[in-house]
Amino acid sequence: VLLAAELLLPVSGPVSLIICIAAYLVVGAEVVYEAFKELFTGQAFGENLLMTIATIGAFFIQEYSEAVLVMLLYQIGELFQSMAVGKSRRAISDLMELRPDTANVMRDGQLVQLHPIEVKAGMEIIVKPGEKVPLDGTVMQGNSYIDASALTGESLPQQVGPGSAVLSGSVNTSAPLQITVTKEYNESTATKILNMIEDVGGKKARAESFITKFSKYYTPIVVGCAVLLAVLPILFVKDAVASEWIRRALMFLVVSCPCALVISVPLSYFGGIGCASKNGILIKGSNSVDALAGVTAVAMDKTGTLTKGQLQVAAVEAQGFAEKQVLEYAALTEWYSDHPIALAIKRAYGEELEQQPEQSKEIAGKGMVARLQGKRIAVGNAQLMELEGAAYAPYEGGGSAVYVSVDGVYAGRILVKDQLRAEAGQAIRQLKQLGVQNITMLSGDSQAAVREVAEQLEIDARGELLPGDKVEQVEQLIAANESGKLAFVGDGINDAPVLTRADVGVAMGTIGKDAAIEAADMVIMGDDLRKLPAAIQISRKVSRIVKQNISIALIIKIGVLILSALGWSNMILAIFADVGVMILAIINAMRTLKIKLPQLED
């Protein structure tokens, strides 16, 4: 209001000065205070000092309204900046609400509220409808729906019941659940995510580190140049007008303020990381964003990454017996076994096993032999069939074949395979659409099993690899991929060394082991492999926006700096080169919060 009065009313001289000083104190007192405070804390050369020198200098050359206008627009830019940073931080800070402050613990039949850090593994907790799950655990009683969207980005609630695993940070939506704690406070999913978020700021990208160092040296150099621009012409140029050269030097200071770069570059990365977190993708720092943006090759594990990591019966091939009978014989023979293949066969049988085998014996490394209703049933591998003298048909395809014989007569075989993830095919297609053509599966499984999955997905594959072999293979792939970065996706403890060696390590979070998550640069929550191309797309968008902001800011500022030094500019253009460019850069940076991802197929 005071500035408008000075500009619109017919005032001049001392009256104009008084009005402008009052207006200046209203909008600029805080900036001046911060500038002088920084002088005594060793941080003198910041944007506050540049603005203070430029505006106070403008008063000395009687450019009163310009001084107030510069400070006003600078404060508007600062307000806009704080709003943008707040919005960007909220995208990540929402995750900070994952972990509740209390847990309802059952003690001697009574419900007691404790801080989650006091709850030990094995204790029973009660989670009421609407409450967050405080610690990872297994449901013992109750059936409900769990909202894990804050963790995984998956909007549909998941049905849970006795035996279901639940993660801390998810919300119980419909009915009380009695849960046995499996991981203590410091090892729970929510705590690990929060620890990763707290570490994000310390892992700066190359551009971000450059801007930090750049601004440290840039500001004192600019102040020195402005002093020289004001003093040297007065000393050495004939008929030089002191006020004119001081005005040019002040404009030089206004233009040179590096806030557009200092603010927009970190803001772009922070916004991108926030956008990723909303979609169930946890990127551990801006350096990882840069690395993901440069990914042109991907290697990945098979079990638990491309496949579900759970064996299922794919087919039953009977010879002289009904398929149902062969499956029943196998399920009854495997009655006492907890081997993953045995569990898959019993699940496939589907009916309750009412009769137990009369005798049951394990043949080490070969299978099981049992006596059922007076018959000798053998269930196992080819070596067991040879011991039984059964003329079996060898299987050479992917997966595992479980052979069944009855009294030494071959009855058929059960094919057990790890099922391909439903989204794996779409994830591979999206990666190829992003230009990632070199996709290789590295697995410890048999060549036949690896080849079958690779053919379905149309990717390269290498099987029968030990953890050390995977590291060697990744090093070869990195050497062959000279033009870009290589990402490795894995989920198990044995993947930790190769996750560390790859340019970008990606862990599948929910089923992933802690060692893999700790070693990775990025964690996919919810185990949806389609989030890998989504993360690459977010990172590339962030990288483009950072480069745009740096280019725009430097080109405009250098151009106006030259014009100011030559006297071909004015204070309005100088203000645009500072505040205007900062606002443009912030608006551009905020686009990282609204990155559109490819639509996911069902």
Q: Which CATH superfamily is domain 1-96+188-306+421-602 in?
A: HAD superfamily/HAD-like (3.40.50.1000)
**From 248-262, 322-336, 419-433, 530-544, the region with the lowest mean pLDDT:** 248-262
**Domain limits of the chain?**
1-96+188-306+421-602, 103-185, 310-420
365 class by beta-carbon count within 10 Å (0-12 exposed, 13-18 middle, 19+ buried): exposed
| pLDDT tens digits along 234-286 | 888 888 888 888 888 888 877 877 777 777 888 888 888 888 888 888 888 88
Q: What is the mean pLDDT of the chain?
A: 82
Based on its alpha-carbon atoms, the radius of gyration of the chain, rounded to whole angstroms, reads: 34
Q: What is the pLDDT of residue 581?
A: 86
Q: What average pLDDT does this structure show over 464-487?
A: 88
Structure-token match 């090759």, residue found: 297
Q: Which CATH superfamily is domain 310-420 in?
A: Calcium-transporting ATPase, cytoplasmic domain N (3.40.1110.10)
Closest residue by Cα to residue 303 from 340, 333, 337: 340
Q: What is the pLDDT of residue 519?
A: 75
Q: What average pLDDT does this structure show over 369-394?
A: 91
Residue 526 scores a pLDDT above 50? yes
Q: What is the pLDDT of residue 512?
A: 46
- Annotated catalytic, 301? yes
Q: What are phi and psi of 361, to 5 degrees?
A: -145, 135
Q: Are 185 and 116 in contact (CB under 8 A)?
A: yes
Q: Of the listed 136, 147, 290, 301, which one is catalytic?
A: 301
Split at pLDDT 50, 70, 90, the class of 4 is low
Residue 544 scores a pLDDT above 90? yes
| pLDDT tens digits along 194-242 | 666 556 555 555 666 666 666 667 777 877 888 898 899 888 888 888 8
pLDDT over 70 percentage in the chain:
86
Pairwise CA distance, residues 99 & 597, whole Å = 28
Q: What is the pLDDT of residue 369?
A: 93
Residue type, position 284, single letter: K
Residue 310 scores a pLDDT above 70? yes
Q: What is the pLDDT of residue 101?
A: 81
Which position has the higher pLDDT, 67 or 135?
A: 135
Is the pTM value of this prediction over 0.85? no
- Neighbour count for residue 14 (Cβ, 10 Å): 8
CA 589 vs. chain centroid, Å, equals: 18
Q: What average pLDDT does this structure show over 396-418?
A: 89
Strand order in the sheet with 144-147: 158-160, 144-147, 171-172
Pairwise CA distance, residues 423 & 280, whole Å = 15
Q: What is the pLDDT of residue 330?
A: 92
Give the three-state DSSP class for 295. strand
Q: What is the pLDDT of residue 99?
A: 67
Q: What is the pLDDT of residue 42?
A: 64
* Residue 264, token pair as written in the block: 């927009």
**From 44-53, 161-170, 403-412, 501-510, the region with the lowest mean pLDDT:** 44-53
**From 92-106, 178-192, 333-347, 389-403, the region with the lowest mean pLDDT:** 92-106
Q: What is the pLDDT of residue 14?
A: 79
Residue 509 scores a pLDDT above 90? no
Q: What is the pLDDT of residue 127?
A: 92
| Long-range contacts (CB closer than 8 Å, 24 or more residues apart) made by 109-114 | none
Closest residue by Cα to residue 545 from 349, 286, 300, 372: 286
Q: What is the pLDDT of residue 515?
A: 62
User: H-type helices in 334-423, by residue range?
Assistant: 340-349, 382-388
Q: What is the pLDDT of residue 516?
A: 66
**From 97-101, 390-394, 598-602, the region with the lowest mean pLDDT:** 598-602
CA 238 vs. chain centroid, Å, equals: 62
Output the CA torsion sign for 373, 375, 376, 380: negative
Whole-angstrom CA distances from 61 to 15, 54, 207, 355, 390 are 16, 11, 39, 102, 106
Pairwise CA distance, residues 465 & 487, whole Å = 18
Pairwise CA distance, residues 161 & 288, whole Å = 38
Residue 362 scores a pLDDT above 90? no
CATH number of 103-185, picked from 2.70.150.10, 2.60.40.10, 3.40.350.10, 2.60.120.560: 2.70.150.10
Q: Are 348 and 327 in contact (CB under 8 A)?
A: yes
Pairwise CA distance, residues 523 & 71, whole Å = 44
Residue 589 scores a pLDDT above 80? yes
Strands 485-490 and 504-508: parallel
Q: Are 314 and 415 in contact (CB under 8 A)?
A: yes
Pairwise CA distance, residues 19 & 8, whole Å = 12
Q: What is the pLDDT of residue 152?
A: 63
Residue 580 scores a pLDDT above 80? yes
Split at pLDDT 50, 70, 90, the class of 88 is low
Q: What is the pLDDT of residue 187?
A: 81
Pairwise CA distance, residues 382 & 402, whole Å = 8
Q: What average pLDDT does this structure show over 462-490?
A: 88
Angle between helices 206-236 and 286-293 (to 10 degrees): 100
Best-predicted range by mean pLDDT among 53-62, 178-187, 590-599? 178-187
* Residue 565, token pair as written in the block: 């030094």
Determine which helix (DSSP H) or strand (DSSP E) holds 410, and give its type and residue range. Answer: strand 409-420
Give CA angle at 409 (406, 411), nearest 5°.
65
Pairwise CA distance, residues 344 & 260, whole Å = 60
Q: What is the pLDDT of residue 601?
A: 47
Give the three-state DSSP class for 518. helix
Q: Are 160 and 144 in contact (CB under 8 A)?
A: yes
298 class by beta-carbon count within 10 Å (0-12 exposed, 13-18 middle, 19+ buried): buried
Closest residue by Cα to residue 272 from 551, 587, 549, 541: 541
Pairwise CA distance, residues 124 & 145, whole Å = 19
Closest residue by Cα to residue 174 from 190, 161, 189: 161
Closest residue by Cα to residue 73 from 599, 524, 578, 588: 578
Q: What average pLDDT does this structure show over 580-589?
A: 86
Residue 452 scores a pLDDT above 50? yes
Residue 439 scores a pLDDT above 90? yes
